[in-house]
Amino acid sequence: MNKANSLVIVGAQWGDEGKGKVIDYLAANADVVARFQGGDNAGHTVVYGANIFKLHHIPSGILYPECISILGNGMVVNPLVLVDELVELEKRGISTGNLWISSKAHLIMAYHQAYDQANEELLGENKIGTTGRGIGPAYADKALRRGLRAIDLTDINLFRSRLSKILPLQNHLLREAYGHSGYELNQLVEYYRPACERLSPMVTDTSIILAEKMAGAKKILFEGAQGALLDIDHGTYPFVTSSSTVAAAAGSGSGLGPQSLAGVLGVLKAYTTRVGEGPFPSEEKGEKGDQLREQGSEYGTTTGRPRRCGWFDAVIARYASRINGLTAMAITKLDVLSGLETINMAVAYECQGKTIKDFPSDITGLQQCKPVYEVFPGWDEDISHISSISNLPGAAKLYLEAIEEMAGVPIELISVGPDRSQTIVKPDSLLARWCVVG
Ligand code: IMP
């Protein structure tokens, strides 16, 4: 197995780092792009000329007709949303013939969304701030061994039979604990029938495809969703998503061993954002935060919610590097910082009279942390047309060098705008080699 040709791309903050754009850029040279966790809570915006694509399940590689796209076994898939995505892409002339769904991926069902929304309501002011897409309940049912899987979509009788075993318990819970009216078996089967028919030919053992491509030294991108601080184990629990978002999950979530994962690229914004509830030490609640939100168009792709904005946090970057084993970083939206007189960067936290440089392992500790800022000079120039690192303003170069030094990981890609053309790759780097055709 040749591992030199694989690259895992993960978010290294709280998601929304601009992974879609980076993956789309690198997918031009990929033979396969595989997602390995999460579901339609993810929202990747890919801008290609005048075209804007908003993808939720489907890997960004779909925009390249030769590239194989895979929804791995670690994902939870909403069949109805996936069909809508396919229809939308096809309407715009994008072929979906190279998309495959792991037979082992779990399904997000209507009752999962009902639970998700009801849970949030019941939690009231302690809510997680989920996307309401049913992600947590679908992963919970997987762990409770009462989930439906993509293989069940391939035969409507199988689907009915599996559902008939699960539905009485789901209805009992929905009615008794949540005051929901529940679902009727036949109606639910008919509701899902068109999706079963549409998706059935795409369901297969995707691990075999991946292993064959690995053996043939093909280039494989593993596309992470969300980010390190939303990881179910390592994130700001309980304000996290319900899957493992770190690089190691690319193996188990796609059916390959750890030796299949070579480079790990962490994507970080040049500042920080977060949606949903939970602590955020470098959050900027005043005018500067509003400025970042407006200049960076920081509104959720999936929910449209305004994102909370703040400064780049090097404590988080170091932590994300450790738990992912980052070999390189991509810094996105550097152009959004143009025009700021000064730029803050959190380099440590002040916590109960102590200065700490490691990200706290529990939320109570994190809530007590105040950021220690280093202040960098800003730059006025519009950098959105710059195509090499050497042409960036001196202050921008200084800022990037400080990030590299504090995270201990090289920056190999810089994004200065949403379009594919607004991407700078460091010469002679791992990513520069990835971008060489062949
Ligand atoms: P869930 O994944 O819908 O259960 O939401 C749990 C937490 O993860 C919430 O704070 C969401 O806002 C956040 N979240 C889930 N998916 C994304 C994403 O793609 N980008 C950013 N935040 C996300």
Is the pLDDT at 4 greater than 80? The verdict is: no
- Provide the residue count of the chain: 438
Q: Sorting pLDDT into bands at 50, 70 and 90, what band is 53?
A: confident
Please give the structure tokens belonging to residue 247: 């690089």
- The rounded Å distance from CA 157 to ligand 1 centre is 34
| 68 has pLDDT over 50 | yes
**CB of 212 closer than 8 Å to CB of 102:** no
Using an 8 Å Cβ cutoff, are 356 and 349 in contact? yes
Protein residue with its CA nearest to atom 19 in ligand 1: 42
In short, whether 226's Cβ falls inside 6 Å of ligand 1 is yes
C-alpha 226/C-alpha 246 separation (Å) is: 9
Please indicate whether residue 267, judged by its CB atom, sits closer than 6 Å to ligand 1.
Answer: no
* Consecutive H or E run containing 142: helix 135-143
Catalytic residue numbers read 16, 44
Q: Which of 142, 275, 298 to mutate to test the pocket of ligand 1 (most atoms within 8 A of CB)?
A: 275
According to DSSP, residue 419 is labeled B
Output the residue whose Cα is nearest ligand 1's atom 20.
Answer: 15
Q: Is the CB of 423 under 6 A from ligand 1?
A: no
pLDDT tens digit sequence for 265-283? 999 999 999 998 899 999 9
Q: How confident is the model at residue 80 (pLDDT cuts 50, 70, 90)?
A: very high
Average pLDDT value for residue range 81-103:
94
Q: Is the CB of 42 under 6 A from ligand 1?
A: yes
Whether the CB-CB separation of 297 and 331 falls below 8 Å is answered with no
Q: Whole-angstrom distance between the N-terminal and C-terminal Cα of the chain?
A: 18
Q: E strands of 182-304, at which residues? A: 203-204, 220-223, 263-269, 272-274
Q: Which residue has the higher pLDDT, 298 or 44?
A: 298
Please check whether residue 48 is in contact with residue 23, taking contact to mean a CB–CB distance below 8 angstroms: no
Average pLDDT over residues 62-74: 95
Q: Is the CB of 16 under 6 A from ligand 1?
A: yes
Sign of torsion, CA 215 432 46 397? Answer: positive
Q: How far apart are CA 337 and CA 292, in angstroms?
A: 8
- Measured CA to CA, the distance from residue 415 to residue 419 in angstroms comes to 9
Q: Could you report the per-residue pLDDT of 367-393, keeping only the tens digit for each?
A: 999 999 999 999 999 999 999 999 999
Report pLDDT digits (tens) over 393-414.
999 999 999 999 999 999 999 9
Tell me which CATH code domain 6-93+205-434 carries: 3.90.170.10
Q: What local confidence, expressed as pLDDT, does residue 1 receive?
A: 38
pLDDT at residue 2 is higher than 50:
no
Whether the CB-CB separation of 206 and 34 falls below 8 Å is answered with: yes
Element (H, E) at 211: helix 206-215
From the CB of 30, is ligand 1 less than 6 Å away? no
**Mean pLDDT of all residues in the chain?**
95
**pLDDT bucket at 50, cuts 50 / 70 / 90:** confident
Question: Looking at residues 71-97, what average pLDDT do you find?
Answer: 95
Strands 328-332 and 411-415: parallel
Kindly give the residue spans of alpha helices, DSSP state H, lying in 274-412: 287-295, 314-324, 363-367, 394-407
User: Ligand 1 atom closest to Cα of 11?
Assistant: 20
Question: Would the CB of 135 count as within 6 Å of ligand 1?
Answer: yes
| Cα–Cα distances in angstroms (integers) from residue 19 to residues 146, 297, 351, in the given order | 32, 15, 32
Angle at 358 between CA 355 and CA 361, to 5 degrees: 115
Contact, 410 vs 425, CB < 8 A?
Answer: no
- Close Cβ partners of 209 (under 8 Å, ≥ 6 residues apart): 32, 68, 70, 100
Per-residue pLDDT reduced to its tens digit, 206-260: 999 999 999 999 999 999 999 999 999 999 999 999 999 999 999 999 999 999 9
Mean per-residue pLDDT, 346-351:
97
Residue 358 has pLDDT above 80, yes or no: yes
Indicate the fold that domain 106-201 takes in CATH.
Adenylosuccinate Synthetase, subunit A; domain 2 (1.10.300)
Helix, strand, coil percentages in the chain from 3-state DSSP, rounded to 5: 40, 20, 40
If one counts every other C-beta atom within 10 angstroms of the C-beta of residue 388, the result is: 11
Tokens of 180: 């929901």
Q: What is each CA distance from 412 to 11, 115, 153, 234, 265, in whole angstroms?
A: 15, 42, 41, 25, 9
Q: Domain map of the chain by residue range?
A: 6-93+205-434, 106-201
Atom of ligand 1 nearest to the CA of 135: 4
Beta bridge partners of 350: 355, 370
Q: What percent of the chain has pLDDT over 90?
A: 89
CA separation for the pair 191, 186 (Å, rounded): 8
Rounded CA gap, 66 and 63, in Å? Answer: 9
Confidence class of residue 43 from pLDDT cuts 50, 70 and 90? confident
In this prediction, residue 438 carries a pLDDT of 61
Is a pLDDT exceeding 90 seen at residue 45? Answer: no
Residue 278 zone, left/alpha/beta (φ > 0; ψ -120 to 50; rest): left
Among protein residues, the one with the nearest Cα to ligand 1's atom 11 is 130
188 SS3 class: helix
Per-residue pLDDT of 153-195, as tens digits, reads: 999 999 999 999 999 999 999 999 999 999 999 999 999 999 9
Ligand 1 atom closest to residue 41's alpha carbon, by position in its atom list: 16
Work out the burial of residue 231: count CB atoms within 10 Å of its CB; fewer than 13 is exposed, 13-18 middle, 19 or more buried: buried
